[in-house]
């Protein structure tokens, strides 16, 4: 069998970032992303720092708010409301995961829709599900963009998503359904996962379980997208069975940040448009 086509998110993200930088430079002010980090999880701190570096690299401003790990929901919401009212902030990202005492849904829903450039609020989810305009959850939006770029036909395709989180599996299912795919969402309680995955024309692994998807679970000639972080949810042998596969790293990850920056500039452009 011939080698699979590699879905190079890293290359597409570079193109998208260049377009985002040009759009940012054309604005009469610096489009600015505020990041909010609660607690001191080193992984989360690293992701937030990377997002800030990318902002600087492509001509966006960034503002960072770091809150103590014992911050209450009310305190966090107050910060988000302040950022929501700040005219110099165009996008707000609340870094996931949040400490257990925080009412996560209430916090995300305190971000005004026009500044929810990470697409995590209930309103953004509803807009995606209903096919209405608005910012999309970045990782699923990046996956759809990647599939479109490589001209993977979505209409009528049999798609299986492994994972149903609010930031990834669920919004991706909504977006792909809006694009006329037939979507099955699997999760930790799914009986006989392989039965589902092995009939997928497009398989998206978003479980955060390294090596979960083995070769026997992939239909020959399928398109396989691995949303997991290194080393990825899809085993090397499984990717070989595919017609096309996204690498880890260099696949979905760069697309997520590219979508975040693009949507921050969209939000800033909307401010200019509303003046
Ligand atoms: P999450 O909130 O932990 O959700 C994981 C999902 O996978 C849950 O729905 C869970 O089922 C399901 N699952 C776990 N083990 C499973 C198994 N053995 N079989 C079937 N389903 C299983 O994770 P997430 O935030 O969505 O992230 C998923 C992955 O994507 C992680 O590797 C994460 O690091 C990665 N990610 C990457 C990016 C990026 O930019 N590249 C961005 C975000 C996330 P239940 O619902 O039943 O618990």
Q: Decide whether any atom of ligand 1 lies within 6 Å of the 190 Cβ.
A: yes
Q: Residue 2: pLDDT above 90?
A: no
pLDDT grade for 56, boundaries at 50, 70 and 90: very high
Q: What is the largest CA-CA distance in the chain?
A: 57
62 is in an annotated binding site: no
The verdict on whether omega for the bond into residue 231 sits within 30 degrees of 0, i.e. cis, is yes
Residue whose CA lies nearest to ligand 1 atom number 48: 188
When pLDDT is averaged across residues 88-95 and rounded to a whole number, the result is 98
For the chain, strand residue ranges (E) read 5-6, 32-38, 61-67, 91-94, 158-162, 182-186, 202-205, 223-226, 244-245
When pLDDT is averaged across residues 129-141 and rounded to a whole number, the result is 95
Catalytic residue among 109, 116, 118, 233: 118
Cα-trace Rg, the chain: 19
Q: Decide whether any atom of ligand 1 lies within 6 Å of the 189 Cβ.
A: yes
When pLDDT is averaged across residues 63-75 and rounded to a whole number, the result is 98
Give me the residues paired with residue 36 across strands: 65, 94
Question: Residues 182-228: pLDDT tens digits?
Answer: 999 999 999 999 999 999 999 999 999 999 999 999 999 999 999 99
When pLDDT is averaged across residues 129-142 and rounded to a whole number, the result is 95
The verdict on whether omega for the bond into residue 127 sits within 30 degrees of 0, i.e. cis, is no
- Look up residue 56 and give its two tokens: 């600087």
- Look up residue 269 and give its two tokens: 């452009």
In the reported structure, the alpha carbon of residue 86 is separated from the centroid of ligand 1 by a whole-number distance in angstroms of 33
Share of the chain above pLDDT 70, in %: 100
pTM of the predicted structure, to 2 decimals: 0.97
When pLDDT is averaged across residues 259-270 and rounded to a whole number, the result is 98
What pLDDT shows up at residue 1? 60
- C-alpha 52/C-alpha 55 separation (Å) is 5
């Amino acid at each position: 069998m011939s080698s699979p086509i590699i879905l190079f998110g890293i290359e597409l993200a570079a193109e998208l970032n260049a377009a985002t930088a040009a759009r940012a430079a054309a604005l009469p002010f610096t489009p600015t992303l505020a990041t909010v980090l609660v607690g001191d999880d080193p992984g989360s701190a690293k992701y937030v720092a990377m997002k800030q570096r990318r902002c600087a690299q492509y001509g966006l401003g960034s503002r960072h708010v770091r809150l103590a790990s014992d911050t209450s929901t009310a305190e966090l919401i107050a910060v988000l409301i302040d950022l929501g009212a700040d005219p110099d902030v165009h996008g707000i990202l609340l870094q996931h995961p949040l400490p257990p005492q925080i009412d996560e849904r209430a916090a995300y829903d305190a971000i005004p829709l026009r500044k929810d450039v990470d697409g995590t609020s209930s309103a953004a989810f509803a807009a995606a599900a209903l096919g209405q305009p608005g910012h999309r959850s970045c990782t699923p939006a990046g996956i759809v963009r990647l599939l479109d770029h490589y001209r993977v036909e979505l209409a009528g395709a049999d798609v299986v998503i492994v994972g149903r989180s609010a930031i990834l599996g669920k919004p991706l299912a909504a977006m792909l359904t809006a694009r006329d795919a037939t979507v099955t969402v699997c999760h930790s309680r799914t009986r006989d996962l392989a039965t589902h995955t092995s009939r997928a024309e497009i398989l998206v692994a978003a479980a955060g379980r390294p090596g979960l998807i083995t070769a026997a679970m992939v239909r020959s000639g399928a398109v396989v997208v691995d949303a997991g972080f290194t080393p990825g949810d899809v085993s090397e042998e499984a990717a070989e069975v595919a017609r096309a596969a996204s690498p880890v790293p260099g696949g979905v990850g760069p697309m997520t940040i590219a979508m975040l920056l693009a949507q921050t500039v969209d939000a800033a452009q909307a401010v200019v448009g509303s003046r």
